[in-house]
Chain A
Amino acid sequence: MSRQSNRTTDSKKMNAELFTLTYGALVTQLCKDYENDEEVNKQLDKMGYNIGVRLIEDFLARSSVGRCQDFRETADVIAKVAFKMYLGITPSVTNWSPAGDEFSLILESNPLVDFVELPDNHSSLVYSNLLCGVLRGALEMVQMAVEVKFSQDTLRGDNVTEIRMKFIKRMEENLPAGDEVHSRICVPC
């Protein structure tokens, strides 16, 4: 469907249930195709990654957030700006590790899993694994390598949904010019 450029920051309201149904159709089709929960988790992560690398530009274009100075600032921006902008929820940032390189996002509600129950034969399926891929892909485009996984999931009987994010490293080689003090002059051939 072609879009006219009359887009307000409020966005065209789309039925959230249509979104839930679409995601559900996606996951069930993947389950039928791959028949293996681990494989489905991997595919969801890959799809999320592809979404993340594109979504980050949209996020940066619309939110005018500058470069974050440290991982704590990144966590705040993800929870308070990004999740609010895209899913309409504001998770809380908790459980910081002593080194300050790991934290948890606690989601009270997850729009992807409205009306969903996991059957017993899919006990190791991480239903919302797409979100992990999105976060990983988006942060990689701003030169941060992270590891993202679900440590608690309401679909598997826990009280809350918890996403655990761990900082691996800063990707210096991809840093754009001007963002790093010691960058080398690049010479195109």
Chain B
Amino acid sequence: MAIFSVYVVNKAGGLIYQYDNYVPRAEAEKTFSYPLDLVLKIHDEKVVVSFGQRDGIRGTVSCQQVNVKAYKMYIVITGNMSWLELKCCIVYVLYLLLTLCTHTSINLVGHALLSINGVDVNGKFTADGKEIIEYLKDSTNYPVSIRFGRARLSSNEKLMLASMFHSLFAIGSQLSPEVGSSGIEMLETDMFKLHCFQTLTGIKFIVLADPRQSGIDALLRKIYEIYSDFALKNPFYSLEMPIRCELFDQNLKGALEIAEKAANFGPGS
């Protein structure tokens, strides 16, 4: 039972805080000799495996095309769409949302190259600044030990996904057949549940957790308290800005630990 991550989104839809508590990673590290039997390509400033599956390292199909379409559909959303078009948009965008949590069972997404010979890579360059694809074409660099795994979301991607969720949250209340419905409170997949709590002032606290994890409502209220204490009562923190408060981090980690152990938040904790 685990809590994967916490996101805090401000009134305007901007991500002001993000914390990854537990990131389940499927990784494989292997030693390769020349020539490399995997086909690599650059995608989104990362080196990913485009073709070839061996020993747990997965290749991709054209899910990137689906992602691009979803981005384009998203930009086209206006107020005058028919319900059918709107629902199609939502399906595409929800697909994208699944990448919010790094633990997903979509087999299509290719593994990214994470490190060479134990040193983490920097996008499409090695730590020394050489281009990875060129480096791996040179037989003198072999044998080489490469680690592949699910690529972590960059902070820009997280920012984008958070503002997308902010809009979806609003759409959620629009779609409601009843008047005065709230926005999206829970999003459930087979691998994780996303819980969202919006305060009366418009701040959203989002927690991604294991589907079997209970007590997330209490955790969301607790995170609200921690925010009102350690972020707001810090006079040097400006409202709506990214939260960079040590005490907030520490207390949030403590609250997540308590929630994972399924203990109750006592009056003094």
Contact = CB atoms under 8 A, between A and B. Distances in A.
B179 A174 contact: no
Interface stretch (A58-66, A90-98, A116-124, A161-169): A58-66
A61 B183 contact: no
A6 B269 CA distance: 6
Interface residues of A, number: 33
A56 B203 CA distance: 12
Interface string A54-82: 10111011101011000000000000000
Interface string B188-220: 000000000011111100000000000000000
Contacts of A186: 13, 166-167, 170
A176 B198 contact: yes
Given A57-B227, A58-B233, A178-B169, A67 B251 contact: no
Q: Interface residues of B toward A: which range? A: 35 or more
B239 interface: yes
Contacts of A7: 229, 268
Interface in A151-189: 174-179, 181, 183-188
A15 interface: no
Given A9-B267, A185-B174, A176 B200 contact: yes
Nearest to B269: A5
A8 B171 contact: no
Interface in A1-42: 2-3, 5-9
Contacts of A146: none
A106 interface: no
A53 interface: yes
A58 B164 CA distance: 28
B199 A57 contact: yes
Contacts of A6: 268-269
Contacts of A176: 11, 198-202
Nearest to A56: B201
Nearest to B180: A181
Contact of B201 (A57, A66, A181, A183): A57
Contacts of B170: 177-178, 183, 185-186
Interface in A114-135: none
Most chain B CB within a 10 A radius of its CB, from A58, A142, A174, A177: A177
Interface of A: 2-3, 5-9, 53-54, 56-58, 60-62, 64, 66-67, 141-142, 174-179, 181, 183-188
Interface of B: 11-13, 77-79, 163-164, 166-167, 169-174, 179-183, 198-203, 221, 224-225, 227-229, 232-233, 239, 247, 251, 254, 267-269
